[in-house]
Amino acid sequence: MTYTIFEDGHIASPTGFRATGVSCGLKDGSKARDLALVYSVQPAKVAAMFTTSLTKAAPVFLSQAILSRNRDAMRAVLINSGHANAGTGQPGLTDAVECAKLVADELEIQRDAVLLMSTGVIGVPLPMPKLRDGIRRAVSELDSGGGKRAAVAILTTDSRPKERALRVQLRDGQRCILAGMAKGTRLIHPRLATLLCIITTDVAIEQRLLQQALHHSVQRSFNRLNLDGDSSPNDSVLILANGGAENTPITDAGSREFVAFQESLNALCADLSQQIVRDAAGNGRIMNVRVRGAVSEDSARLVADAVIRSRTLRAAVKRGIPDWGSLLAAVGSSCAEMRPELLDLRVGNVLVLHEGMVAPYDSYTVVQAFSVPEVEFTIDLNAGPVDLTVITCTWHEE
């Protein structure tokens, strides 16, 4: 393993990063921290992935425009909670531009070196007087120990902060730090949502490889969460790499250093995504849906999504009822390419269907498999090489 956990690490732990979180009254009736700022002392390479929603929020639209011009010298990310700045039209975009300009002017950096993230209520204009004051105070309070404050400031419906930092061994004598913070639970109200994640690292790496690494990690972590079937107009994942570790720059995807960095980024994203689903589950149950032996990833995802959407199966999981028949029904309704006579189903470690026919099993073991906090379903199509796992959870209200 190329990494170890950085105990008490946070988003500002990598060399050359500063952060803070302040309260400026964005959450009605609350004095909680609601505005976070992450700053790199030196220009940072940046990679990003955004929501696929066609109704992108203003901060997403603006950040994408900035990244079309600047991916090699980013300096700051401003994250506000309480207001999503989505569904706000041109006025919302104007407000986003002003926020980025204020951060740049206060930090005395280029205006295309600031990215934005927002989360909270959709369709409500940003309270700009409060944000103007909050941005000034955030800039004045930036420090290398402020990551914990930032992680709290980005929360909305979350019950706790989600953060992790890793020390990464690139090769003998060359190390770096990876740190991330995230927020997200689910759409508990149709106007309140968002999965946000920001990652910082002091590794020196080419921007194209940073984007490649982020895409690989997100596809295998955040993009395999399907908590409630809804997609926010604000979903964003960013990574900033400022080279503060002074390692030999990573320029080869086949190098030992890149492999070590990719492994560590995979672990960090997986950890943060697991924290999200565990927070979302609350007193409900987590469902791990593994599809093996699919002919393609698209086919595997069709099966996994059908299983996750099954209200009958979700009700069985929530109540601990050993109804694996609803699992079979969901798989069959997926329209994925499969041969029923090759299908195997497992609940936990219990094989309940083999080659399309019921298998001999102890009914008590199936009851147990449906009653654990994390229920696992394995659907083996026995038709191809693809193996994919998607995670969801049941809700108290279901």
pLDDT one-digit tens code per residue, 200-217: 999 999 999 999 999 999
* The one catalytic residue among 194, 378, 392, 394: 194
Under the banding of pLDDT at 50, 70 and 90, the label for residue 279 is confident
Residue 370 reports pLDDT greater than 90 = yes
pLDDT for the residue 123: 93
* 52 SS3 class: coil
**pLDDT tens digit sequence for 26-48:** 987 788 999 999 999 999 999 99
CA–CA separation, 356 and 341 (whole Å): 5
193, 288 contact by CB (below 8 A): no
Share of the chain above pLDDT 90, in %: 81
pTM as predicted: 0.90
Instruction: Write the pLDDT tens digit of every residue in 302-356.
Output: 999 999 989 999 999 999 999 999 999 999 999 998 999 999 999 999 999 999 9
Q: Quick one: average pLDDT of 50-64?
A: 93
Angstrom distance (rounded) from CA 186 to CA 145: 29
Q: Please name the residues in contact with 199: beta carbons below 8 A apart, sequence gap of 6 or more.
A: 178, 179, 180, 214, 237, 238, 239, 240, 265, 268, 269
What's the confidence (pLDDT) of residue 224?
A: 83
> What does the alpha-carbon distance between residue 120 and residue 87 come to, in Å, rounded to a whole number?
12
pLDDT band at 16 (very low <50, low <70, confident <90, very high): very high
- Helices 207-219 and 256-281 cross at an angle (nearest 10°) of 40
| Closest alpha carbon to 120 in 57, 176, 204 | 57
Q: Is 194 a catalytic residue?
A: yes
Average pLDDT on 73-93 reads 96
Structural domains of the chain, with CATH: 3-281 (3.60.70.12), 286-393 (3.10.20.340)
Of 157, 60, 52, nearest to 115 by C-alpha is 60
265 DSSP assignment: H
Average pLDDT over residues 260-281: 93
Whose CA is closest to 347, among 329, 372, 330? 372
Task: Look up residue 49 and give its amino acid.
Answer: M
Crossing angle of the two packed helices 324-332 and 297-309, in degrees rounded to 10: 130
Question: Could you tell me the pLDDT band of residue 385, with boundaries at 50, 70 and 90?
Answer: very high
Per-residue pLDDT, 355? 96
Please check the confidence at residue 231 and state whether its pLDDT lies above 80.
no
Q: Check residue 397 and give its pLDDT.
A: 56
Look at residue 299 and tell me whether its pLDDT is greater than 70. Answer: yes
In the chain, where do the E strands start and end?
A: 3-5, 17-22, 35-50, 74-83, 114-121, 162-171, 174-183, 192-193, 196-201, 236-241, 286-294, 344-347, 350-354, 357-358, 374-380, 386-393
pLDDT at 381: 97
